[in-house]
Chain A
Amino acid sequence: MNLRNEMRLEFLSRSQNEAFARVAVAAFAAQLDPTLEEIADIKTAVSEAVTNAIIHGYDNPNEYVQLITQIYDDCVVIEVIDHGKGIEDIELARQPLYTSKPELERSGMGFTVMETFMDEVEVNSAPGQGTKVRMVKYIRNDTAETERDE
C-alpha cells in the first residue's frame, strides 16, 4: 500500500466539533476523487465515531479526540481515538440497538452505521484506557482502478 497523504487533527471533546471533523475528513478525502455517495458514507461514519468519543468516551468537554486520515491509492483509512472510558465488551457494543445511554435517546445504531457505510471497521478498546476505531473505505474511481491493475 502506497501512502499518498496523511493528516492528523486533535480537537476538544465538544459536540460542535462533530460537524468540523466530518467535513475536514471529507475535504481531505476529496483527493481520491470519491463519488458523492462515497463522501456521504465517509462523513456519516466519521460523525458516528467522533460522536461516540465525545459522549461515551469522555464525560467532560475538555479532553482531546484524535483523528487521523490516511490516503492510499485506492482507499481512505480513518482512525478516531479517545483516551477515555473504554469499552468493556466490544462485541456487545457493536450489536445493533445496543446503547449504554438510552436515557439520551441514543439509538444504538452507531456501529451498525459505520459497518454498513465503510468497508472495514476495527475497534480496539480497553476499560480506563480509551478506544480506537479504525475504518477503511475503498474508493472505486477510475484512477484507482488503473493503479490497482498494475
Chain B
Amino acid sequence: MLTGNERKKDILIVRLEGELDHHHAEEIRKSLDELLEDSSIRHLILDLRNLNFMDSSGIGVFIGRYKTISKRGGQVCITNVNPQLARILDVSGLYRILKVYNTVEQAVDGIRGEAV
C-alpha cells in the first residue's frame, strides 16, 4: 500500500506500507505508475520504514520503476531498510541500481548533491 506521497520539486517521495508480496504487487505497481505519469517527476524515493515484508515480487516492482526513472535521467532511492528487506535487496543485486539512505532527508540531500 502507498501512503503519504510528497513532492519536493522533481522528487517524488512515496511511503510503502504493509507487505510487498505477489498479492500486493499489482496494486502497488499500479499506484506508482499512476503517480509517475506526471513527467515532471525525475527522482523517486521509496521510504520502506513501514514495509513489514517483501519477497522477490517486490524486486520486480522496484526494477520496473527504476527503468521508468532512469529513462528520465533520475535516481531511485530507498530509505529505512530493515534487516529482512536488506537481505532480499542484497540477494537480488538491487543495491547496484538503487541508492540506499538511512532517512528520506538524507536521500533528498543525496539527490540534490549529485544534481548540481
B-contacting residues of A (Cβ < 8 Å)? 15-16, 18-19, 22, 37, 40-41, 43-44, 47-48, 51, 54-55, 104-107, 109-110, 112-113, 116-117
Contact = CB atoms under 8 A, between A and B. Distances in A.
Interface string B44-60: 00000000010111011
Interface residues of B, number: 21
What secondary structure prevails in chain B residues at the interface with A?
helix
A31 B57 CA distance: 29
B83 A109 contact: no
Contacts of B88: 44, 113
Contacts of A15: 21-23
Contact of B23 (A19, A44, A109): A19
Contacts of A107: 56-57, 59-60, 63, 92
Contact of B87 (A16, A18, A48, A117): A117
Contacts of A110: 55-56
Q: Which of A16, A51, A107: most chain B CB closer than 10 A? A: A107
B91 A19 contact: no
A110 B25 CA distance: 15
A15 B23 CA distance: 5
B83 A105 contact: no
A109 B53 CA distance: 16
Given A44-B53, A105-B64, 7 more contacts: A15-B21, A44-B88, A51-B57, A105-B63, A107-B56, A109-B59, A117-B87
